Amino acid sequence: KAGVTQTPRYLIKTRGQQVTLSCSPISGHRSVSWYQQTPGQGLQFLFEYFSETQRNKGNFPGRFSGRQFSNSRSEMNVSTLELGDSALYLCASSWDTTKNSPLHFGNGTRLTVT
Amino acid sequence: GENVGLHLPTLSVQEGDNSIINCAYSNSASDYFIWYKQESGKGPQFIIDIRSNMDKRQGQRVTVLLNKTVKHLSLQIAATQPGDSAVYFCAEGGAYNFNKFYFGSGTKLNVKP
């Protein structure tokens, strides 16, 4: 079974631009979560989607948004990029959200904002 | 937010020795815990999980211990190998929180040959 796929692997953007990251979950997984990883803050939860609905959201500004499609694929968007948005963005999928099941992570998209 | 932390940021062990990585959590309502391994350039990789109705769970060369009284979690790796060198994270969550997990700051494990 293929793992979680994230594209692109690397991105370099300029302050003020916007960016869209893509995630394909493991086949059969309906929950997709996004996390931001930085050396200073570690892994921080952005949001979680299930059946195209955002069910949980972390403490990030409204510039960070996401969506999920009917095939469970997900995208996240960051608008008006700031230097502090430079991070590794990780997508994770899981099978069962009612009793918690492990998150399976992709290898992330490394975003650099200059 | 929740406070999930690790006692030792860096752990060096000799190949073949056992490793113990510790983690403290603060939310007594958390009922699901996961250990992840992250190698350079990769996303976190699931190692083992445990629910709050258990205090011990074993996998291949790994054991997770949960002490709910003191809100402490540990990961034991038997016969540590060079391939175990990585950063290890504990994550805390609960059925009340869907898939919103709180991650510890991570412990880097160095295995000396």
CB B108 within 8 A of CB B87: yes
Is B44's pLDDT higher than 90? yes
Residue numbers in chain A where pLDDT is lower than 70:
96-99
* pLDDT mean across residues, chain B: 90
**pLDDT at residue B95 in the model:** 65
Contact: B100, A33; criterion CB under 8 Å: yes
**pLDDT at residue B6 in the model:** 40
Mean pLDDT of B10-25: 95
Least confident of A4-13, A75-84, B18-27, B76-85: B18-27
How close is the nearest chain A Cα to the Cα of B64, in Å? 15
A102 has a chain B CB within 8 A of its CB? yes
DSSP for chain A, written as a single string: ----EEE-SEEEE-TT--EEEEEEPPTT--EEEEEEEETTTEEEEEEEEETTEEEEE-S--TTEEEEE-TTS-EEEEE-S--GGG-EEEEEEEES-SSS----EE---EEEEE-
Q: Considering chain A, what percentage of its residues have pLDDT values greater than 70?
A: 96
**pLDDT at residue B14 in the model:** 97
Contact: A50, B98; criterion CB under 8 Å: yes
Contact: A56, B102; criterion CB under 8 Å: no
Q: Which of residues 63-102 of B touch A (CB under 8 A)?
A: 89, 91, 93-95, 97-102
Distance between CA atoms of B62 and B76, rounded to whole angstroms?
5
